[in-house]
Amino acid sequence: MKFKRPRGTNDLFGDRMSIWQQAESELTGLIRNYGYSEIRTPIFEMTDLFVRAVGEGSDIVTKEMYTFEDKKGRSLTLRPENTAPVMRAFLENSLHRTGGIKRFYYLGPMFRYDRPQAGRYRQFHQIGVEAIGSEDPSIDAEIIDVSLSMYKLFRYPRLDVRLNSVGCPKCLPSFKEVLKGELEGLKEELCGNCQDRAMINPLRIFDCKSCDDVKHKLPVITDHLCGECRDHFGKLQEILDGMKIDYSLDPLLVRGLDYYTKTAFEILHPELGAQNALCGGGRYDGLADDCGGGFVPAIGFSAGMERLIETLPEEYMSNLAAAAKVAYFAILDDSMIAEIMLIAREMRLEGVSAVIDLSGRNIKKQMRAASDGSFKYAVIVGPEEIGRQEATVKDLQSGEQESISLDKLQSYLVEGAKE
């Protein structure tokens, strides 16, 4: 082998790919039921979009972005997250002109140069939801409800919703000054990274896992919220209570991106240990202004597909992997191959899977492939069957088999797929 996949990336195929496709299909179907439509943005954007939106002092910008120059010397970056590109697309395409709330979802690869570990890769996939155009806390509640419903869809046994308010441009600057003052006296207790960034953006301290002891000595933003932020946060909690959504307040939760304002939240799976965050998000009312588009309120969340797939409850994972495909045609006589291919094509057009073994291998290997592939039926077409204008259909679950005339084969298999 001269080449191997880059570190921190994956090849997806076979049963694992089937699980991904099924999970993606169920997730996007659920999100569309909330009224969200898909948006697709470029995989690379102008670098400054992420610097301005994500934050100059953030780990993403300083350490993790894949940045390169094009042939005209322009700095471009593979997207490390997709909220900023969605807002750029919203503004550039004048989607605000029709008014109301614009609801979008996206699904695709992101790129960060990070230390690979379980559930975290350098090319990873996110599903995300964005609601643009409303300041009302009711849309915050809807976003939290969508994210929680995603995991309920897969029957996760325990979910922990953490909630905080991170303030706004009215109250956040004064809190940062208070925080800087406190950090001056605790500088020796900070890790090397936090010592460097404490004065650039002190909120990043709350994101650092190495400084847990210091965090609990610091003031919290919820004690410094302005009246508008307090009212917004209080109303959001009232709505969540009315929706019977359980949550816990976490004043140390700030999220890792500079564009967050007011609401911030995460969904955790307590049984996963240190890497227990399934998804997270929050409000970003200032992002449009940072992109040159004026004030546009918005909120959203993103979830890692790798983390979701790797933590799916075992019973659900088994159901997905074992989902039976319908018909596997084992061909021992190709004199009527065109007729068999026609039958299979018509089945597919009716939404029923049909695979024809065109390898020329022996019947034993073809039957093993049918069984290993989780097909419901093996359809055997050999010289004896052709002579009778029939096919032998074997139910791979019960082991029973019967002869079906070729002119009735399609309807027999389509009906069998419904059972």
Whether the domain at 14-158+276-317 and the domain at 324-418 fall into the same CATH topology: no
Sorted by where each begins, the domain ranges of the chain are 14-158+276-317, 324-418
What average pLDDT does this structure show over 8-30?
92
When pLDDT is cut at 50, 70 and 90, the band that residue 202 belongs to is confident
Percent of the chain with pLDDT over 70: 96
What average pLDDT does this structure show over 102-119?
91
For residue 320, the model assigns a pLDDT of 58
What average pLDDT does this structure show over 241-250?
96
What are the tens digits of pLDDT across the range 170-185? Answer: 998 999 899 888 888 8
**What CATH code is assigned to 324-418?**
3.40.50.800
Using the predicted structure, report yes or no on whether residue 313 has a pLDDT greater than 90: no
Q: Which residue has the higher pLDDT, 103 or 189?
A: 103
Residue of 120, 129, 123, 95 lying closest to 109 (CA atoms)? 123
Q: Which residue has the higher pLDDT, 255 or 144?
A: 144
Q: Which residue has the higher pLDDT, 51 or 314?
A: 51
When pLDDT is cut at 50, 70 and 90, the band that residue 91 belongs to is very high
pTM confidence score? 0.88
For residue 319, the model assigns a pLDDT of 63
When pLDDT is cut at 50, 70 and 90, the band that residue 336 belongs to is confident
Indicate the average pLDDT of the chain. 91
Homologous superfamily of domain range 14-158+276-317 = Bira Bifunctional Protein; Domain 2 (3.30.930.10)
Q: Which residue has the higher pLDDT, 311 or 40?
A: 40
When pLDDT is cut at 50, 70 and 90, the band that residue 30 belongs to is very high
Matching residue, tokens 């800087």? 180
What average pLDDT does this structure show over 370-395?
92
